[in-house]
Amino acid sequence: MNESNPLGTAILFHLGPLALTSTVLTTWGVMLILWLASRLVMRGLHLQPGPWQTAAEGIIETISAVIGELLTPQQARQVLPFVATLWIYLVLANLVGLIPGLHSPTADLSATSALALLVFLSVHWFGIRANGLRAYLRHYLTPTPLLLPFHLISEITRTVALAVRLFGNIMSLEMAALLILWVAGLLAPVPILMLHIVEALVQAYIFGMLALIYIAGGLQSQQLRQQKEAP
Amino acid sequence: MELDWSTFALEVVNFLILIWLLKRFFYQPVLNVIEQRRGQIREELSQASREQAEADQLKSRYEARLSDWETERQAARAALEQELVQERGKRLRQLDDELDRQRLKHAARDLQQQTQWRRQAETEALQLGAAFAGRLLSTLAGPELDRRLRQLFIDQLTTLPESALKQLHQGRLDEAQRIEVVSALPLDESQQQAIRQALEQRIGPSQGQWQFRQDAQLIAGLRISIGGWLLHANLQDELRFFSEAAHAE
């Protein structure tokens, strides 16, 4: 805990060449909570579910239904772990900032960039798995090779936009709450904290939905081309 | 707002680990349970569909059986009604026959009873008439009537057929020792002699004993016994014969 950046992301200690910041520790905490909750809820799975199992099944069924609106059932089953983990993790990570003394991992550009990078890679990973490398790369040349630069720029900018949008919203909320606390007193930031809850859920939904749309675009590009070529 | 590459790399690794953890301990178990439940629901729906089909089949079978039963029931009812009509007609005919027999029997019994009553009434009437006539004749009887009856007896002796005379003659021989003459009024000698002469003229002379005696119950007239034969011309015997003859009829 000997170094800190201006936005409160403190480097707590070094582990070899890696600097462990509060963002990483908070992420580990979130991961631990999710793992323990999973173990706790899934310890007694039955066909006749209890309240916690019902809630867990409801979460997964809802996410599956949303994914199923865009993808085939087989593709949805492949994509579900990534997209569902994004939504669940982002909800928890965004709400961590409400706890005094803790900062949301998503208020750190490094964390949101890492997630955006994973979304970027997953789009290509799922697209190549579904269509093959050549077919997948061919969609950058459609409808005309002239659009290839724009496709490439789009890939980069939408990834950067993902990272910056989430980082900017969550960081600004925490910053606003902190400033109001400094200026107005103890209970003044409460409306801002309530807004933080809504914003955390909305931003998690937007990030996950955009990731799903990008992945679905990569999966369905080849299918659309095949449908057009079909007699 | 600077990018920390260590945090960046650790966040990538952390998220990949989180995906693995949740997939291993959360998504797969829950999805498996959901799939099991869906399979169970599908199985139950399939079972329900099979049972529904079986139930429909059973329902149609039972409806057909009920229809058959209804047809059989109606046929049996019609047969029973026809049998009842036949049995009723048979019983009515038997009852009519029995009634006819009873009617005939009652008619015969009534007729017999009426005949018996009439005969009894006639008998009683005759007895009453005989008694009345006896009392009347007892009042009216006298020597004149007695004489006329004796004369009537003597006259009738002349009209007896030959066969009767032979039998009387035989009786006189068998019982020659006794001829009894019973009269309602005492007979004097001449009267007794007239009677003996009239009898001996018809059946021959008799060596037997003649016995004359009086019996007022004869009212008027006389009675003569010769062996096993009786000759009479008196009111009592006539009245008795009259009533017995009427009764015999």
Among B15, B24, B31, most A C-beta atoms within 10 A, so best to mutate, is B15
Smallest Cα distance from B50 to chain A, Å: 23
- CB contact burial A52-69 (16+ within 10 A = b; e otherwise): ebeebbebbeebbebbee
Most confident of A22-26, A147-151, B82-86: B82-86
β-bridge mates for residue B179, sequence order? B210, B226
Burial class for A82, CB neighbours closer than 10 Å (0-12, 13-18, 19+) = buried
Structure tokens at B20: 């693995």
Cβ A24–B11 below 8 Å, yes or no?
yes
Contact status, residue A222 vs residue A126, Cβ threshold 8 Å: no
Q: Average pLDDT over chain B, rounded to whole? A: 86
Q: Where are the domains of chain A?
A: 23-33+50-229
* Pairwise CA distance, residues A225 & A135, whole Å: 9
pLDDT in tens, A60-74: 999 999 999 999 888
Smallest Cα distance from B39 to chain A, Å: 11
Higher confidence at residue A142 or residue B41?
A: B41
How many residue pairs from chains A and B have C-beta atoms closer than 8 A?
124
> Locate tokens 């593709």: which residue?
A75
Tell me the pLDDT band of B246, cut-offs 50, 70 and 90: low
Among A85, A104, A112, A172, most B C-beta atoms within 10 A, so best to mutate, is A85
> Locate tokens 């925490």: which residue?
A174
Q: Does residue A38 sit at the B interface (CB-CB below 8 Å)?
A: yes
pLDDT computed for residue B204 by the predictor:
75
Tell me, rounded to whole angstroms, the distance of Cα B118 from its chain centroid.
25
- DSSP SS3 for B215: coil
> Locate tokens 């005939």: which residue?
B104
> Locate tokens 């049972």: which residue?
B51
Q: Which residues on chain A are in Cβ contact (under 8 Å) with B14?
A: 24, 27-28, 31
Nearest CA in chain A to B26: A38
Cβ A42–B2 below 8 Å, yes or no?
no
Q: For chain B, where are the alpha helices, taking DSSP H only? A: 5-22, 28-140, 143-158, 162-174, 189-203, 235-248
Judge: domain B141-248, CATH 3.30.379: no
Burial class for B7, CB neighbours closer than 10 Å (0-12, 13-18, 19+) = buried
What percent of chain A has a predicted confidence (pLDDT) above 70?
Answer: 91
End-to-end CA distance of chain A: 66
Smallest Cα distance from A195 to chain B, Å: 23
Q: Which residues on chain A are in Cβ contact (under 8 Å) with B38?
A: none
* Pairwise CA distance, residues B109 & B19, whole Å: 124
Tell me the pLDDT band of B247, cut-offs 50, 70 and 90: low
Q: Does residue A79 sit at the B interface (CB-CB below 8 Å)?
A: no
Higher confidence at residue B166 or residue A167?
A: A167
pLDDT computed for residue B120 by the predictor:
86
* Pairwise CA distance, residues A155 & A110, whole Å: 19
Nearest to A60 among B17, B31, B37 (CB): B31
- What beta strand segments (E) does chain A contain? 3-4, 10-15, 18-21
- CB contact burial A195-214 (16+ within 10 A = b; e otherwise): ebeebbeebbeebbebbbeb
Q: Where are the domains of chain B?
A: 141-248
